[in-house]
Structure 1
Amino acid sequence: MLKQIEGSRAVAEAVALARPEVICAYPISPQTHIVEALGELVKEGALSPCEFINVESEFAAMSVAIGASAAGARAYTATASQGLLFMAEAVYNAAGLGLPIVMTVANRAIGAPINIWNDHSDAMSQRDCGWIQLFAETNQEAADLHVQAFRLAEAVSLPVMVCMDGFILTHAYERVDVPTQEQVDAFLPPYQPRQVLDPAEPVTIGAMVGPEAFAEVRYLAHARQLRALELIPQIAADFERQFGRSSGGLLHGYRCEDAHTIVVALGSVLGTIKDTVDALRDAGHRIGVLGITSFRPFPLAAVREALVHAERVIVLEKSFSVGLGGILANDVRMAMSGTRRHGYTVVAGLGGRAITQASLAKVFEQAMRDEIEALTFLDMDWGLIERQLERERRGERSGPAAEAMLRDLGAVASRVS
């Protein structure tokens, strides 16, 4: 059913159609509208049987989800930013226990300094925790990926994060084809847990494992992720057959067939990149876009195949590994190992900074002439940085760097109560 709907509401309705039995909710922007909408559906009786549990922290949300899943319930929660960091211990436990929890991460920057706007730092901080991570480009894909995520999680017995850009997608109103209950029921079978805590047949889960088996346990999680690499495109193909639209999968290319230059990225920025590529194509440049949907497991072979004919690769990412550089770029570089390609990392959009077509066109054209650094920061105010570095070189007691730079800009730090 086509609806003009907020992204958060579309996701909530898609999650409800998957018939979760336990929803653990703790509010943190920008995911709050998702769990609010699910709470309304439970209260109205539109989602039943389902227990909606208000918890006191993000750590508690994931802990309750772990308990619910271990007891045999289909479990769901959502978080963002500092909330994901707060639940990090439990996030690792959920993956280590092989529990098929589905969680929305409404991507948001992590501090300090405090920032509520979008980038991918939160999900990237948990990239090695053992969860499958799927990134949505649009609200339609965000809704579709949640339906697929439950099926994938339960097929491989691993938790799945569906990552959607905070505010850019979560709070945007656009047309979304929300499936019917009958469609989802035909696509997603009833939950059949692989492990259940049952008082009649008591077992221990999460027991101490020493050096004699710990590596093997960790490898089992890796093996399940490799199995997910096979299943993700199969599930996406099945989804397309049943719902009549392509959504999900490992990756998707745009105008890549004859491209000399290919831009690789995650999430909603792909839309702006595609518009920029269309304009550059009109100007005679052979450039394309490769969008990664499955960040974990990372589709090394598929990425390598997609980039094999490109002369240069530009990885544009909304995250940054301090002291190293690009995060997505490192995975792309691994996929391209042994090939001779010009490779560039462009860090953009940190803390919600706008990524414009004009800025993208400029940096892409420079990259196509091989006139940018291997690690480039889009629209960085280098003068602002140099003034702060100069203060530090002089040994001035300038206070926290963020506040000092805000003073340089004539801005006032926001106060968050």
Structure 2
Amino acid sequence: MREQVEGSRAVARAVAMCRPGVVAAYPISPQTHIVEGLSDLVRTGELASCEYLTVESEFAAMSACIGASAVGARAYTASASQGLLFMAEAVFNASGLGLPIVMTVANRAIGAPINIWNDHSDAMALRDAGWIQLYAADVQEAVDLHPQAFVVAERTSLPVMVCMDGFVLTHAVEEVDLPEQEQVDAFVPPFVPQQLLDPANPVTIGAMVGPEAFTEVRYLMQQRMDAAIGTVAAVAEDFRRDFGRPSGGLVRGYRTDDAETVLVTIGSVAGAATEVVDELRAEGIAAGSLTLTCFRPWPAEAVREALGGARRVVVLERAFSVGRGSIVGQDVRDTLHGLPATVVEAVGGLGGRPVRRADVRRLVEGVNADLLAPGRLHFLDLDHALLASAGAS
């Protein structure tokens, strides 16, 4: 059913249709409307048989999800920014225990200085936490990714983050195709836990592991993540078949088949990228774009296949590694090793600064004209007057 709805409210309804048994909620902008929406659905009885827990911190929210999942409940929470970092210890525990928790991350900048607006610093800071990370390009995909996330998590025994750009998507009001409950019930089967704490058969989980076995535990986690690439792709194909629209998956190419220059993006910047590609194509410039939906596990084969014919690859992301440079760009560069493509890495949209089509176009044109050298991180739309006033070059 199509209707105009705020992104957060749409996601709340999509999560509710997946019938979580436990929702652990602690508000932090810009994810608050998601857990508020779920609270309303529990209060009115639309989301029945769900324990809605108002906890005292983000750490408690993830800890509650760990306990709930371990005793056999489908568990969900949402967070952002410093809240996500506050629960970091428990985030690692969830993946280490192989618990299929789903969490929405309403991506927001990390301080200091404090900033409540969007970039990807929060989720990227936990990219090595052992969680599958899926990024939504628009509100419709944010809705669609949640049923897929529950299925992927429960098939792989891995937790899943669904990342959606804070405010840009969480607070945007768009026309969204919300599925019917019967459709979601057919797609997301009842939760059958792969491991279950049972007082009648007591076991210990999360106990200390010494040097004699810790490497093997981590090796098995890596194996599960490697196998999850196929599961993410298969579930997206099932979704396309059952719901009649493509959404999710590993990567999505746009006019890449004969493209000489391909712009790689993650999150909501994808919309501006495709519009710039159309502008350049109308002028006879062979441009294309590639949107990354699955960032962890890294879909190396899909990325290499999509970019293998390009001469120039421009990676534009909303976070970077201070002291090192590009995050996504480095993964792309490693994946394309041995191929002739030149990879240029850029960062933009930090702290909620808009990424405009004109800025994206100048970036691509600069790369095509060999004005932006590979091997260094380029900052999109820098305010040089502001830098000069701070004494920076």
* TM-score, normalised with respect to structure 2: 0.98
Q: Residues 35-71 of structure 1, C-alpha deviation per residue, up to 9 Å, x if partnerless?
A: 0000000000111100000001000000000000001
Q: What is the SS of the residue equivalent to 1:253?
A: strand
| CA displacement, residues 8-54 of structure 1 (integer Å, 9 cap, x when unaligned) | 01100110000000000000000000000000000001111000000
What are the equivalent positions in structure 2 for 1:105-254 lying under 5 Å apart? 105-254=105-254
- The Cα shift of 1:362 comes to 1.2
Q: Give 2:88's aligned amino acid.
A: A
Paired residue secondary structure (1:272): helix
1:164 match: secondary structure: strand
Residue 29 (structure 2) aligns with: 29
Segment of structure 1 superposing worse, 269-278 or 380-389: 380-389
Q: Aligned match of 1:379 in 378, 381, 385?
A: 381
TM superposition outliers: structure 1 runs of 4+ over 6 Å: none
Report the AA paired with residue 384 of structure 2: W
1:206-227: CA deviation from partner (whole Å, max 9, x where unpaired): 0100111111101111111111
Structure 1 residue 338 displacement after superposition:
1.4
| 2:285 corresponds to | 285
Q: What is aligned with 1:97?
A: 97
Distance, in Å, in 2 between the alignment partners of 1:23 and 1:164 is 19
Task: Map 1:230-379 onto structure 2 (within 5 A).
Answer: 230-374=230-374, 375-379=377-381
**Deviation string, structure 1 residues 269-327 (Cα, Å, up to 9, x no partner):** 10011111111111111000000000000100110011110001000000011111110
Give distance in 1, aligned partners of 2:80 and 2:111: 12
Distance of 1:345 and 1:35 partners within structure 2: 35
**Code of the aligned partner of 2:232:** I
Displacement, 1:169?
0.4
In the alignment, structure 1 segments of 5+ residues that lack a partner are 392-417
Following the alignment from structure 1 to structure 2, what is the Cα–Cα distance between the partners of residues 77 and 35? Answer: 8
Letter in 1 for 2:242: Q
Matched ranges for 1:42-81 at <5 A: 42-81=42-81
SS in 1 for 2:53: strand
The gaps in structure 2 that reach 5 residues or longer are none
2: distance between equivalents of 1:237 and 1:390? 49
2-structure distance, mates of 1:45, 1:183? 20
User: Cα distance, 1:386 vs. partner?
Assistant: 4.0
Task: Give the aligned CA root-mean-square deviation in angstroms.
Answer: 1.0
Residue in 2 aligned with 1:400?
A: none
Local SS of the residue matching 2:14: helix
Offset, 1:233? 1.1
Cα deviation digits, residues 89-131 of structure 1 (max 9, x gap): 0000000000000000000000000000100000000000000
Q: Which amino acid aligns with 1:123?
A: A
Deviation string, structure 1 residues 151-197 (Cα, Å, up to 9, x no partner): 00000001000000000000001111111111011111111111111
How much does 1:387 deviate? 3.9
Distance 1:384 1:171 in 2: 29
CA distance in 2, matches of 1:354, 1:49: 41
Distance 1:100 1:361 in 2: 40
Describe the SS at the equivalent of 1:117: coil
Aligned partner letter, 1:246: P
- Give the percent of matched residue pairs that are identical in Structure 1 and Structure 2: 62
Amino acid at match of 1:151: V
The 2-side partners of 1:22 and 1:177 are apart by 25
How far residue 390 of structure 1 moved from its aligned partner, in angstroms, is: 5.9
Deviation of 1:384 (Å): 2.7
Partner deviation per Cα, 1:197-252 (whole Å, 9 max, x = no partner): 11110000001001111111011111111111011111111111111111111000
Structure-2 separation of matches of 1:94 and 1:325: 29
**AA at the equivalent of 1:245:** R
- Counterpart Cα distance in 2 of 1:81 and 1:26: 13
Q: Take 2:256 and 2:232, find their aligned partners in 1: how far apart are those partners?
A: 22
1:4 aligned to 2:4? Answer: yes
Aligned residue-pair number? 391
- Please give the alpha-carbon distance, in whole angstroms, between the structure 2 residues aligned to 1:274 and 1:356: 12
How big is the shift at 1:354?
1.2
Partner letter of residue 219 of structure 1? Answer: Y
Q: Distance in 2 between matches of 1:342 and 1:390?
A: 29
How far is the alpha carbon of 1:388 from its aligned partner? 2.6
Asked which structure has the greater CA Rg, the reply is 1
1:324-355: per-residue Cα shift (whole Å, max 9, x none)?
11100011011101112211011100001111
**Aligned counterparts of 1:153 and 1:343: Cα–Cα separation in 2:** 33
